[in-house]
Every structure is written in structure tokens, then in C-alpha cells.
Amino acid sequence: MLYSNNIHDASVLVHCLVGSSPLRSLDGGCKKDAGKKKLLSKTRCQNCLINVPPVEFSAFVYVFGSGITVEASCSSMLGFLIIDGVTIHDGLITDSLVPREGCPVGEMLYQGPWLNQRALSESVLSVRSNVNPLDPWRQEQAFFFDRHVRPWISRFLRFGHSPVHTVKPEFADALSRFLECFYVDDDLAAFVERFAHEVQRKERYMWSTIVMGIIQ
């Protein structure tokens, strides 16, 4: 977690939750034996993790006097920043906004449209990640649809949930430039990606040391 309360009259918090799941290689998954020819499967396996999702993190920006906190759902792929979506929170940056493992945050907040086609491409490739445009939780702004659909089953039919369409590229670019003003950019994404790998490496080493100590 990184925090600064004085970046161009704004508070910025960056949070990355590093779990035990494997992380995508810093070199993009290329290995030394990549030259070996592999037989391709003739069938597409469902619910199989054929690729590893990129490192994901959240960037919170609160501009003093604005009254709102902008939360950007970000990913780092090969050291480049990918902004998946944006959520708006009322008030300052607080601990309650920081996502915790196993504790969903902001279930009733409007997530807004996705800013790229990542979710769609991952669905085609059967890659599962934390980015899920079809949020199973009904949102406050979706209550309007209750008069048009059967409310008790709408959440299962995906009616009234966060939209899966994407915004115009011009808007996504403008949002990216806004975040760059507070140093949420490619350099930060590259640092978060490498730091996540280092944290996982040290945690794996400590775990192995403890287990070997118990066995011996």
C-alpha cells in the first residue's frame, strides 16, 4: 500500500492485494523452452485457467475540496497501466474503501462502464480474473429497472447490473490523463507489478522456511 496526502493538492492511495495465486511473468510469460513446438488441443476447455491474469490494483484519488474520491480499478501488464473501470465514492479516502481479501467493498455502488475490452477478451480466451463486468450484486442505480423486470430474479438474469459496454476512447484517454496528473501512470504500474512479484517471492520463501523447520 502506498499513500501520499500532498500530490498536486490531492491525496493518493494505491493498494494491491497479493494472494497465493500465480502472477503473470514480468517478461510476458515467455520461457526458455518457448521454441519447442506444442500440440494444440482441438477442443476448448471450459473453466480452465489457460493464462494468468495481470497484477491488479486500486488507485484512489481525492482532490481537496471536491468532496469525492475517484477509485480506478487498474492492471499492470508488461509494465504498462491498464485502467479497467472507475468508481466514485463520497468523501475522503478512508480505510473502509480499501478492498480486503474475502470482503467485497462497494457492492451497492455504480461501477460504470468498462474502459477497455479486457473483460470481453478474457471471456473469449477462458481467462478468469477479478475483473467481472457482470457484477452479481444488484446496485442502487439498478433499482429503476425493477418496474420493467421481475425483481426477484433480475440479479440472476443480469438485468440492471453494471453495464458491460465500453465508453468512447476519447473519454478513457481523458481519464488516463487525469490520473497521470497524480502519477498514476505506467511507471507506477511497473513498480506495483515488480513489487507484487517480490512480495510473493518473499512470502513463498518464508512459508518454505517455516514448513522445512517443522519437518526437520
How much is the pLDDT for 122?
A: 61
C-alpha cell at 23: 502472477
For the CA atoms of 201, 204, 210, 212, the dihedral, rounded to the nearest 10 degrees, stands at: -100
Answering whether pTM is above 0.85, one says no
List the domain boundaries for the chain: 2-17+52-215
Tell me the three cell numbers of residue 205: 520463501
Mean pLDDT of 135-142: 45
**First-residue to last-residue Cα distance in the chain:** 35
How confident is the model over 35-79, as pLDDT tens digits? 454 545 444 444 444 456 688 899 999 999 898 899 898 988 888
